[in-house]
C-alpha cells in the first residue's frame, strides 16, 4: 500500500509542475523580447509541450495506480517507460535549463529525478 502513496506523490508532483509550466507561457515568450513570430511560436510550442507532457505522465500515473493491477506486467512496463522519460527530461534539463540563473529552471531536473525515484521505489515495493 505504501507504493500507492509513492505513486500518487510522484503523479501529483508531475501534474503540479505541468500546470506550473502552462501558466507563465505568455510571460516567458515576452521575456525573449523582440523575436520573430516564428521563434515566438517555437517557444510557445516547446513550453506548452513540456507542460502537457508532464500533465499526461502525472495523469497516467494516477490512472495506473487507481485502476491498474499492482505488479502487473503492463503496469510495470508503463511505469518503467515513464521513469525513462523522466530521466531523459532530467538530463536534458541539466544540460540546458539548469545553467540558467532562474530557480524554476533549476528545479526541473530535481523534480523529474525525485519523481522517477519515487516511481522506481514504488515499483520495487509493488
To the question of pTM greater than 0.85 for the whole model, the response is: yes
The number of beta carbons lying within 10 Å of the beta carbon of residue 89 is: 21
- What's the CA gap between 50 and 58, in Å, rounded? 12
Given a cut of 90, is residue 115 above it in pLDDT? Answer: yes
Q: What angle do CA 108, 111, 113 make, to 5 degrees?
A: 105
- What's the CA gap between 45 and 26, in Å, rounded? 11
The grid cell for 15 is 501534474
Rg of the Cα atoms in the chain: 16
Largest CA distance in the chain: 52
pLDDT reported for residue 126: 85
pLDDT in tens, 55-102: 999 999 999 999 988 888 999 999 999 999 999 999 998 888 777 777
- What's the CA gap between 60 and 83, in Å, rounded? 12
Amino acid at each position: 500500500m505504501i507504493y500507492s502513496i509513492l505513486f500518487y506523490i510522484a503523479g501529483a508532483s508531475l501534474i503540479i509542475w505541468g500546470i506550473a509550466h502552462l501558466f507563465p507561457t505568455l510571460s516567458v515568450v515576452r521575456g525573449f523580447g523582440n523575436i520573430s513570430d516564428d521563434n515566438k511560436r517555437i517557444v510557445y510550442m516547446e513550453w506548452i509541450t513540456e507542460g502537457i507532457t508532464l500533465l499526461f505522465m502525472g495523469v497516467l500515473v494516477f490512472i495506473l495506480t487507481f485502476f491498474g493491477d499492482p505488479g502487473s506486467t503492463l503496469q510495470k512496463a508503463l511505469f518503467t517507460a515513464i521513469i525513462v522519460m523522466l530521466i531523459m527530461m532530467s538530463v536534458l534539463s541539466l544540460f540546458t535549463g539548469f545553467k540558467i540563473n532562474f530557480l524554476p529552471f533549476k528545479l526541473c531536473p530535481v523534480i523529474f529525478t525525485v519523481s522517477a525515484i519515487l516511481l522506481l521505489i514504488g515499483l520495487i515495493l509493488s
